Amino acid sequence: MKNQSNGLFLIGMPGSGKSTIGKGLAKALGRVFVDLDHEIEARCGVAIPVIFEIEGEQGFRKRESQVLQEVVKQDDLVLATGGGAVLAPQNREILSQQGRVIYLKASVDELHRRTSRDRNRPLLATNDPKARLQELFEQRSPIYEYLADMVVETGSASVPMVVQQIVTRLREMEDK
């Protein structure tokens, strides 16, 4: 049984809109917005690609879990997780126990379009970022689906439309 505390946790692939929609959702609900990746960078004093370079993905994931554990304790939180935060079982447990998990879903083509110019994504720094996105999508999508209390398509709708859809669905969930 979930302990539905009041955290709202956005999960999804890189480029699915977690940060952008998260900011809008926090504003619409009068909540605090935290971007987990930005929080990690602030605490480490370096950008995520540098952490990956020095510590590898495993070192980064360890830091991510530590910061996640602390951040989820905040009241009235909207949290944009990193795309891979759900990979660690302890992170999935924290998210599902501390609030509602919202999976922002977009197609691989859309994700590629949104991330193609972003150099701050170490997992996509390959010769074929679209193939890498496809691989990550296939690996992570079942985890996102399983963990989610709500799945929201972020393909063609505007940010305000997606935010309004989430707010409406949250209210419907609370009324049940």
Instruction: Provide the CATH number for the domain around residue 103.
Output: 3.40.50.300
Mean pLDDT of 153-169: 92
Whether 41 is in a domain gets the answer yes
Whether 29 is in a domain gets the answer yes
Mean of the per-residue pLDDT values for the chain?
Answer: 90
Which of 50, 76, 48 lies closest to 67 in space, CA to CA?
Answer: 48
**Chain mean position to CA 12:** 5
d(Cα 44, Cα 19) in Å, to the nearest integer?
A: 20
Task: State percent of the chain over pLDDT 70.
Answer: 92
Whether 49 is in a domain gets the answer yes
1 has pLDDT over 50: no
Q: Are 78 and 163 in contact (CB under 8 A)?
A: no
Handedness of CA 144, 148, 151, 156 (dihedral sign): negative
117 has pLDDT over 60: yes
The range of the structural domain enclosing residue 139 comes to: 7-171
**In total, how many domains does the chain have?**
1
Helix (H) or strand (E) holding 77, with range, is: strand 77-80
Task: State percent of the chain over pLDDT 90.
Answer: 70
pLDDT band at 113 (very low <50, low <70, confident <90, very high): confident
Whether 113 is in a domain gets the answer yes
pLDDT band at 175 (very low <50, low <70, confident <90, very high): confident
Whether 119 is in a domain gets the answer yes
> What region does 15 belong to: left with phi over 0, alpha with psi -120 to 50, or beta?
left
* pLDDT value for 122: 60
